Structure 1
Amino acid sequence: MLEFRTSGFNPYSVKYSPFFDSRLAVGGGANFGLVGNGRLYALNLNSNGIVCEKFFETQDCLFDLTWSEQHENQILTAGGDGSLKLFDLGVGEFPVAGWQEHGREVFSVHWNLVKKDTFLSSSWDGTVKIWTPERKESVATLPVHSCVYSAQFSPHHPDVVTCVSRDSHLRVFDLRTKPSAQNHMTLAIPIHAPPKVSAPGMMNQTAGPTECLTHDWNKYRDSVIATAGVDTMIRTFDLRVPSGPVNMLPGHEYAVRRVSWSPHLSDVLLSASYDMTCRVWTDGSNVEQGGTGTGLGREMGRMDRHTEFTMGVDWCLFGAEGWCATCAWDERVLVWDVRDVMRG
């Protein structure tokens, strides 16, 4: 396990580069993001461990970041001051571009993996905005009318956008549809609807709707999404059957801050939680491994080396199928092999 310390700054997000297996970006803020500056780190993994290639100071905390899909040296950040900033590792110490339309904190950013000249942002102001790097104004605004904690483009369809929000709904937008009273929204799924399949541990999960903090698209099944949030439960949904979750994965003791499907295995995902653990799960769908395609999920292992809220997790896209990075409010970034946790 490799470690890097972000001394004086508490990380909120860590992302692997889509171009290099040895490069990471980490964003966070001083004083747990409550007050003070933010910092963006560009890290390299080499024979000496994890070293800082470059860092950028910002006036407010960075709640999220995403690597550009167009340029290997550029990173987009989401700021607590409502701004988006694009940094280039080869150009000085200031952002090369910036956007300011959101009325409150920007909590997530995501670059389109298919249509690579497009990115999005979501904010506590209740909107998702679509952007291109060449324009100073947003291309489109998708009103959600509730604090939006996480938004993404589908990795399968360049014009499909999803988000989760404070009101415990998973919303699906299709930018190909004509604007209407729904503003491109094609689906709104209540996250706390009863599950399609009951299992041990689910029966007493009867609490009302709570805030949903994170979601992620499955990289192999183009209708499957995982969500998680304040009630500690990870849920998987199939957009073809939107009446309720297909699967529920109980186990975390506190809110789940981030989920991430594996880029290598169709049934495996990681979660990062305020209970200071990062856990690896299967949703039970891997037929080749004995699953039925709609089986019950389970926890396969956990990493508990962090000593504060675990805020971010991301998979390495390259090489062996188990490497990932996590970050937490203990001012540490850890790089580790998920397979060791599963064996343990």
Structure 2
Amino acid sequence: MSRPPPAMLQTPGFAHYALAWSPFHTTRLAVASSANYGLVGNGRLHLVSVSPGPGGVPALGLDKYYETQDGLYDVAWSEVHENQLVTASGDGSIRLWDVMLNDLPIRAWQEHTREVFSVDWSNVQKDLFVSSSWDGNVKLWSPERPRSITTLHAHHSCVYQALFSPHQPDIIATCSTDGTMKLFDLRAPSYAPTLPSTNFSTPLAAAALTVPASTTEVLTLDWNKYRPFVLASAGVDKGVKVWDCRMAKTGGEGVGGVCEVALAGHEYAVRKVQWSPHRPDVLASASYDMTCRVWTTTPPSGRSHLLHIHDPHTEFVVGCAWSLYEEGVLASCSWDCRVNVFRV
């Protein structure tokens, strides 16, 4: 039985970096894109709608887009306002948009000193979002405040992603070029000196747990939606790893985490990993090998962990996102300027 072709949307001239489904609207997607593959030039935020099409194949439509002065690397929908979302930009800025307005963002922040590579909105403490940057810092924000609430000097190198735990509002996980995955507890006492000091190398908060996840760069991570303190990580070493981080110690520096499963098969670096919101044992990965793959961590005896390979893309696949409302529906985005939506 042949699979139906994916729904596809082309955005010529703008290579994609990330996409996200709306938590309020079942058919609304946001896509963060950059001209010239994000190396130089402007960016675009695309708003995409998914509608039923002939033969049961959905159709994708471009509702509107917003131009930005620099490339966009990530996007996250607000968890409190159905029409608002934040973007991460190559010029170090973060912008808050309202899709009911046509031109300018409703708020902008400029605190990071290098590219902002990820943004994530807390789905537990819904008035907060977090950003991570190539400047090594992670910042906590409220859309109502003109400045960040907290800065974590998370790593001494690029922080590719920072994500709130979907189970505990005060836990943030990060991954970095230094090969580690770290968990931060925002309730822990800070390591800032009590006396005035110019020692900027002193972190504002120490990691509760450091997981040596790879000998190379860790480009992406995600929390399991059903199993607290279980995360997946992936990166330059081409593998997807599942970690049990229940060894975390609140308020102290720990090193640990047990690798439960290692999923091999990608031929190049893995740029994005995301757990299914519907199944505790299913996750998707997107790779520079131009595929998006779906895995199970609990295959039947003698069967492969690999469930599906999606390979219509003709360039790096850098983003994937599961539909929050419809089980088995996955969106992927690529440097080939295409968004695909398909059923696994």
Contact 1:4 1:332 in 2 (8 A): yes
Structure 1 gap segments, 5+ residues each: 193-208, 339-344
Identity of aligned residues (%): 51
Q: For the residues of structure 2 that align with 1:297 and 1:147, how far apart are their CA atoms?
A: 34
TM-superposed CA distance for 1:184, in Å, is 4.2
User: Residue 220 of structure 2 aligns to a residue in which SS?
Assistant: strand
Q: For the residues of structure 2 that align with 1:336 and 1:281, how far apart are their CA atoms?
A: 15
CA deviations 1:2-21 (Å, max 9, x no partner) are 11001110000011111111
Q: 2:332 aligns with which of 326, 335, 344?
A: 326
Contact 1:167 1:211 in 2 (8 A): yes
The list of structure 1 runs, each at least 4 consecutive aligned residues, that deviate by more than 6 angstroms after superposition, is: none
The number of aligned residues is 314
CA deviations 1:27-49 (Å, max 9, x no partner) are 11001011111000011112462
Contact 2:244 2:257 in 1 (8 A): no
Q: Which sits farther off after the overlay, 44-53 or 87-96?
A: 44-53
Q: Does 1:214 align with 2:224?
A: no
Q: For the residues of structure 1 that align with 2:310 and 2:270, how far apart are their CA atoms?
A: 14
TM-superposed CA distance for 1:92, in Å, is 2.5
TM-score, with length taken from structure 2: 0.89
Q: What amino acid is aligned across from residue 342 of structure 2 in structure 1?
A: W
Contact 1:247 1:297 in 2 (8 A): no
Pairwise mapping of residues 159-198 of structure 1 onto structure 2 (< 5 A)? 159-180=170-191, 183-192=205-214
User: Residue 259 of structure 2 aligns to a residue in which SS?
Assistant: coil
Contact 1:190 1:244 in 2 (8 A): no
Q: What amino acid is aligned across from residue 262 of structure 2 in structure 1?
A: M
RMSD: 1.5
Q: For the residues of structure 2 that align with 1:138 and 1:44, how far apart are their CA atoms?
A: 32
**1:199 aligns to what?**
none
**1:226 aligns to what?**
232
TM-superposed CA distance for 1:243, in Å, is 4.1
User: Residue 36 of structure 2 aligns to a residue in which SS?
Assistant: helix
Q: For the residues of structure 1 that align with 2:117 and 2:99, how far apart are their CA atoms?
A: 23
Contact 1:247 1:296 in 2 (8 A): no
Contact 2:246 2:257 in 1 (8 A): no
Q: What amino acid is aligned across from residue 270 of structure 2 in structure 1?
A: V
Q: Does 1:50 align with 2:60?
A: yes
Contact 2:245 2:258 in 1 (8 A): no
Q: For the residues of structure 1 that align with 2:261 and 2:279, how far apart are their CA atoms?
A: 17
Q: Does 1:304 align with 2:311?
A: yes
**2:277 aligns to what?**
263
Q: Does 1:335 align with 2:344?
A: no
**1:39 aligns to what?**
44
TM-score, with length taken from structure 1: 0.89
Q: For the residues of structure 1 that align with 2:23 and 2:43, how far apart are their CA atoms?
A: 23
Q: 2:23 aligns with which of 7, 11, 18?
A: 18
